[in-house]
Amino acid sequence: MTLIPTPNDIRDAATRIAASVKKTPVLTSQDLDGQTGGRIFLKAECLQKTGSFKIRGATNKLMQLSESERAAGVVAWSTGNHAQGVAAAAKALNISAKIVMPSDAPQTKLDGTRSYGAEVVFYDRTTDDREDIGRRIAQEEGRIVVPPYDDFDIICGQGTAGLELVDQVSELGFALDDVLVPASGGGLLAGVSLAVHDRFPDARIFVVEPQSFDDHQRSLGSGQRETNTQRAGSICDALLAPAPGTLTWQVNRTHLTGGYAVSDDDVLDAIAFAYRAFDVRLEPGGAITLAALLSGHHNAKGRNVALILSGGNVDDDTFNRALARLPTNE
């Protein structure tokens, strides 16, 4: 029988990792509220340690390893944010880490992973199966696998971002009507959905994905896990998993209201908006929920809407492309 995470498990994770992660702020803007007609709350995981929410799940997972498992070391596969989260958590716990990363990973994510002392093994995302490579390393070297999303402890760790969000919004005196969450394999989506619906059971949860990688939205429509036909082709490098995870989908299929597929151009506009309005740097995957709002995919009029800004590890070329889209009088 598959063990499904609960809100209590997320609360346990929050206690476990509290000293190892940041409580990230919720950003608000009267201008954004006026532009959208709603009250908007932005959970800034781009300001988290390692630049994304991923350190939450990685820390929760690694802290529960036995002494013998820690001595064996860990292996993970990632486009970059999970890589940095695992590498940082492993360094803090004195655990050897080996990370399987795509050869075209953003340099900022590659440099960040290596800065924590992890060893990087490259793969070709168009021809290789990163999970097969990682599991082969685990078998050959005896390392413990730390999956990017389809894992009980990872989901609970990621859910602590949602737990913080509902506490922060409640402290401001509001209830949430809608929550927009980015998804690759769905670990953050699952954890946040559990935390949000525990506090606000009537809130609507929407998944936001890049165009041509809308596997969660299509899965919601068909009632079964759907697979993307492409492995590359979006600037949202963090959101290109081939399909929803098995465990994550068991959670998400019962919590999702709907989803949006957003273009790269809309994402670039959102990166520029966030920098201008909040002085934060968002990576494409971290800006995609804001893109769904600003581009009109989601109607926020009269509603309290939370967006998860999941990461800020953007390379300079992409960031400058985004800023170049601002009007010249900005």
Q: What is the pLDDT of residues 177-216, one digit of tens each?
A: 999 999 999 999 999 999 999 999 999 999 999 999 999 9
pLDDT for 2: 82
Q: What is the pLDDT of residues 70-101, one digit of tens each?
A: 999 999 999 899 999 999 999 999 999 999 99
User: Hey, do 7-53+151-323 and 55-145 end up sharing a CATH topology, with the first three levels equal?
Assistant: yes
195 SS3 class: helix
249 SS3 class: helix
Give the mean pLDDT of 17-21: 98
Q: Which fold has domain 7-53+151-323?
A: Rossmann fold (3.40.50)
Give the mean pLDDT of 147-176: 98
Q: From residue 35, give the alpha-carbon distance in Å to each of 30, 139, 270.
A: 9, 53, 14
pLDDT for 182: 98
Q: What is the pLDDT of residues 211-252, one digit of tens each?
A: 999 999 999 999 999 999 988 899 999 999 999 999 999 999
Domain positions in the chain are 7-53+151-323, 55-145
User: CATH class for domain 55-145?
Assistant: alpha beta
pTM of model > 0.95: yes
Q: Which one, of 196, 212, 207, lies nearest residue 245 by Cα?
A: 207
DSSP summary character for residue 326 = S
Q: Which one, of 165, 185, 169, 180, lies nearest residue 294 by Cα?
A: 180
Q: Where are the beta strands (DSSP E) in the chain?
A: 26-27, 39-44, 74-77, 97-102, 119-123, 144-145, 178-182, 204-210, 256-262, 304-309
Cα–Cα distance for residue pair 18/160, rounded to 1 Å: 9
Q: What is the pLDDT of residues 218-228, one digit of tens each?
A: 999 999 999 99
Does the pLDDT at position 14 exceed 90? yes
pLDDT for 329: 57
Among the residue ranges 1-5, 303-307, 315-319, the one predicted with the least confidence is 1-5
Could you tell me the pLDDT band of residue 125, with boundaries at 50, 70 and 90?
confident
- φ/ψ (deg, to 5) at 36: -100, -20
pLDDT for 330: 47
